Amino acid sequence: MSVDRWVVCEQCDAVYTRRKLQPGEVADCARCGHHLYRRHRFDVEILLALTLATAVVFVLANVYPIVTIDAQGSRNAATVWGAVIATWESGVGFVAFLSAMLVFFFPLAQIVLFSYVLLALHRGARPREFRQAMKALALMQPWSMAEVFMLGILVAVVKLAGMMEVIPGIGLWSFAMLTLLLAALTSYDLQDIWDIAERLDDREAPAAGSTGERA
């Protein structure tokens, strides 16, 4: 039996064999009741649309200003990368590097990998680097922390609003939407995508066998 078919409870370390669920069903640990995994109602088309929408919002969140600060007639627009660069120039290079990785590069890599996998599955084929892409997605899921950055933005806006005029920009609303979309993507059970790829392989196997018999 493949190790990919085993599920270990995070709370009590009980081991179970993964079973196929109906859309919307949830598997709970029989020992402690902890949620093990669930089958989302999303199909490939819906998840692909969600991924493409996340890509569009990601571009908007990083291109447009998050806020515009008006201090005695002097206006300054702040973007995500502007904040990262300002942090770097203030002498806190490690924080700037970490922010860039968690807020920009990891989410971008997730969007690209999801698009790569789902576009191929939508066409009815397993992508060539499917296994490597899925492993990378599994490793990056815990490191997508756009919601932490969003919380920091809100705290900064509230503090600055008491001293000067702060005008929310398109980037702020886009980043808020990006946080929700990324949360939806990262909460998706990747095993469901593995199952879809395996079903495609099962369809191709008989066809390949029948071709061989005719030969």
Q: What band does 208 get if pLDDT is binned at 50, 70 and 90?
A: very low
Residue 64 pLDDT > 70: yes
Tell me which DSSP letter residue 164 carries: S
| Helices 44-63 & 106-122 angle (0-180, nearest 10) | 150
> What's the whole-model pTM score?
0.73
pLDDT at 213 over 70: no
**Per-residue pLDDT at 81 exceeds 70:** yes
Contacts of 174 (CB under 8 A, 6+ apart): 57, 60, 61, 64
- Average pLDDT score over residue span 109-138: 90
Residue 185 CA to residue 51 CA, distance in Å, equals 7
Q: How confident is the model at residue 83 (pLDDT cuts 50, 70, 90)?
A: confident
Which one has a higher pLDDT value, 29 or 191?
29
Report the distance separating Cα 108 and Cα 177, nearest Å: 15
- Average pLDDT estimate for 72-95: 80
Return the domain boundaries, the chain.
1-39, 42-202
Q: Which residues of 145-177 are buried (b: 16+ CB within 10 A; e: fewer)?
A: bbeebbeebeeebeeeeeeeebeebebbebbbb
Q: Specify the higher pLDDT residue, 186 or 59.
A: 59
pLDDT in tens, 140-155: 877 767 777 777 777 7
Compute the mean pLDDT over every residue in the chain, rounded to the nearest whole number. 79
Comparing 67 with 210, the larger pLDDT belongs to 67
For residue 215, is pLDDT > 50? Answer: no
Q: What is the mean pLDDT of residues 103-116?
A: 91
- For residues 48 and 119, what is the distance between their CA atoms, to the nearest angstrom? 7
